[in-house]
Amino acid sequence: MTKSILAKVAKVQDWAAKLAGVDDLHSVEKELRQEAEGFAVERTRLLSARPPREDLIAAAERQVDAIAAEWANGNGPQIVAALAGSVDVQPGGEEIRGVVPGDIRNWLPGIVDGSAFIGLVPSIVKARLRDIIAATPYNPGPSMDQRQRMIAELAAKLADVEARHSELVDHARELGITIELLPDVQGRRTRATQAHERWELDQRANESYYRRNPSARPPEPA
């Protein structure tokens, strides 16, 4: 469609018709620009949106279970030892004087950190986290396991729109019609031009060295 409009504008001799063709050209450019902007906004949303609440709750429960299991494995032997008690035997071992009951206080830590709290009451922690996540207002996005695919698909669509818009801009310039490139495309072209200028400057400044050492010559930027 873009090429046909450009061809029409190039061939028309009547200025009124030519101006109408230019209006068509700008209309197509506007549509492409809006499409690119929409893709860019959606990409930003996919990069920053929080996952669905059910995903966060499932992740919280998995992590609480893992922390609780690790904590129990590390502290279980001490808890068992504290509660087990002992048999009181005389120093010679001949007479048993009694049984010393276990006491959980012999194990209790002086400070209960986060891992200990989760390890002791994981069901309470999970229930509270579920309540907090459910009550926290936010606009959820898609699941994280879908993000990479969705962002890649969006990037392909954006690249196609940018290519079509850039083609329109370049051909319009040949007809004497000035249309600005999309900001990201303009930025990439500017950086590419600057990189090539730096490469050319380096080539001129170090030509004799590169002739003596061909392997040291950097490749020309694309």
Please state the domain extents for the chain.
2-49+142-181, 53-135, 183-222
Paired residues of 96 in beta bridges? 89
Point out the least confidently predicted range of 44-48, 105-109, 124-128, 214-218. 105-109
pLDDT of residue 65: 98
Is the pLDDT at 190 greater than 90, yes or no? yes
Contact 56, 50 (CB under 8 A): yes
pLDDT of residue 13: 42
What span, in angstroms and rounded, lies between the C-alpha atoms of 133 and 64? Answer: 14
Is the pLDDT at 214 greater than 80, yes or no? yes
What span, in angstroms and rounded, lies between the C-alpha atoms of 182 and 158? Answer: 11
Is the pLDDT at 165 greater than 80, yes or no? yes
The conformation of residue 140, written as its DSSP 8-state character, comes to: B
Q: Residue 177: which of 62, 9, 2, 61 has the closest Cα?
A: 9
- On average, the pLDDT of the chain sits at 87
Q: Residue 61: which of 13, 109, 133, 10 has the closest Cα?
A: 133
Mean pLDDT computed over 108-126: 91
Mean pLDDT computed over 23-38: 88
Record the tokens describing residue 121, joined without a space: 């009451």
Is the pLDDT at 10 greater than 60, yes or no? no
* Predicted model pTM: 0.65
Is the pLDDT at 180 greater than 50, yes or no? yes
pLDDT of residue 2: 57
Cβ neighbors of 122 (< 8 A, separation 6 or more) are 64, 65, 67, 68
Contact 125, 52 (CB under 8 A): no
Cβ neighbors of 66 (< 8 A, separation 6 or more) are none
What span, in angstroms and rounded, lies between the C-alpha atoms of 139 and 50? Answer: 7
Is the pLDDT at 5 greater than 60, yes or no? no
